[in-house]
Amino acid sequence: MIHVKDNKCDFCGTCVAVCPVDAIELREADIRIIHETCIDCDICVWVCPIDVLESQDAQVSND
């Protein structure tokens, strides 16, 4: 599951551009991962220029 770190995003849209399944919604100053659509490919995590996104083990975050 992709987690968005708090107060770090610059809303540049690079992650949106590469997401293969259109699972990121980006407004002026608001970013959301659409978890139902996300396929956990992690491309957005790699491409973010400032390390805003992280891939978390779903099990752990559901605890």
Q: Binding to ligand SF4 (CB under 6 A): which residues in 18-37?
A: 19, 21, 23-24, 26, 31, 33
- The token pair that represents 11 in the structure block: 């809303």
Residue 43 is a binding residue for ligand SF4 (CB under 6 A): yes
Q: How far is CA 33 from the centre of its chain?
A: 5
- Work out what residue 46 binds among other proteins, ligand SF4, none; the CB cut-off runs from 5 to 8 Å by kind: other proteins
Any contact of residue 43 with other proteins (CB under 8 A)?
Answer: yes
CA dist 44 to 16, 39, 47, 63, Å? Answer: 7, 11, 5, 24
One-letter identity of residue 8: K
Q: Which residues bind ligand SF4 (CB under 6 A)?
A: 2, 9-15, 19, 21, 23-24, 26, 31, 33, 38-44, 48, 50, 52-53
